[in-house]
């Protein structure tokens, strides 16, 4: 039995679960999400707990079991509380600001970067801090990774965009001297 897949999902009282043919619709105070799943997996919903069962112990069913359970759990958690990723900007002159629906990034390039967040994502920028909020965990992580990719932290001075709790290993710069050949 999958260690993750066998765990039941406790559904809070303000979250509604509805089943369709190959999907689960989760409706909560923050919004609604649809999670598709394999038709062979069986879902049981009773007494505010949702359990997922697999038909066989084949390799594919084992893989789908844990993955589906976690996707449904993330949807329940997202519609109830939401997800947040925080980024910080380091570097002289590097900054971010909100401008209408766009976030404007000044990262040492000859031009500003205008980033439009996808639907369902709220981004707030405060000079050197960027906060990304949404109900879809995967989309929040994707957007954070995309913004970070505009200027990844470099190892010599540590300039760039990094996650709030990220540790960047610093390298020593060039040294003068040494033997010539």
The pLDDT value recorded for residue 89 is 95
User: What pTM was computed for the model?
Assistant: 0.86
Q: Where in the chain is the domain with CATH 3.90.930.12?
A: 9-80, 83-163
The pLDDT value recorded for residue 1 is 53
Pick the CATH number of 83-163 from 3.40.50.620, 3.40.50.150, 3.90.930.12, 3.20.20.140: 3.90.930.12
Could you list the pLDDT tens digit for every one of the 181 residues in the chain?
568 888 999 999 999 999 988 899 999 999 999 999 988 889 999 899 999 999 998 888 988 999 999 999 999 999 999 999 999 999 999 999 999 999 999 999 999 999 999 999 999 999 999 999 999 999 999 999 999 999 999 999 989 999 999 898 988 888 886 665 5
E strand segments, the chain:
9-10, 16-19, 23-27, 32-36, 42-46, 49-53, 83-90, 95-99, 102-106, 113-115, 121-126, 129-134, 160-163
The pLDDT value recorded for residue 174 is 85
Q: Report the CATH superfamily, name and number, of domain 9-80.
A: Ribosomal protein L6 (3.90.930.12)
């Amino acid at each position: 039995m999958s260690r993750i897949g066998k765990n039941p999902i406790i559904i809070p009282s303000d979250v509604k679960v509805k089943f369709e043919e190959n999907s689960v619709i989760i409706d909560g105070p923050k919004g609604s999400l649809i999670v598709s799943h394999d038709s062979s997996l069986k879902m049981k919903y009773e007494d505010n707990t949702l359990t997922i069962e697999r038909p066989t112990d084949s390799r594919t069913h084992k893989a789908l079991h844990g993955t589906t359970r976690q996707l449904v759990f993330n949807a329940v958690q997202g519609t109830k509380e939401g997800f947040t990723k925080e980024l910080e900007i380091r570097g002289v002159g590097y900054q971010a600001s909100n401008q209408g629906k766009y976030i404007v990034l000044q990262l040492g390039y000859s031009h500003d970067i205008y980033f439009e967040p996808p639907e369902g994502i709220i981004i707030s920028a405060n000079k050197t801090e960027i906060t990304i909020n949404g109900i879809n965990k995967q989309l929040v992580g994707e957007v954070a990774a995309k913004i970070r990719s505009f200027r990844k932290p470099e190892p010599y001075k540590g300039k760039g965009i990094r996650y709030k709790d990220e540790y960047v290993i610093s390298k020593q710069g060039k040294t003068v001297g040494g033997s010539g050949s």
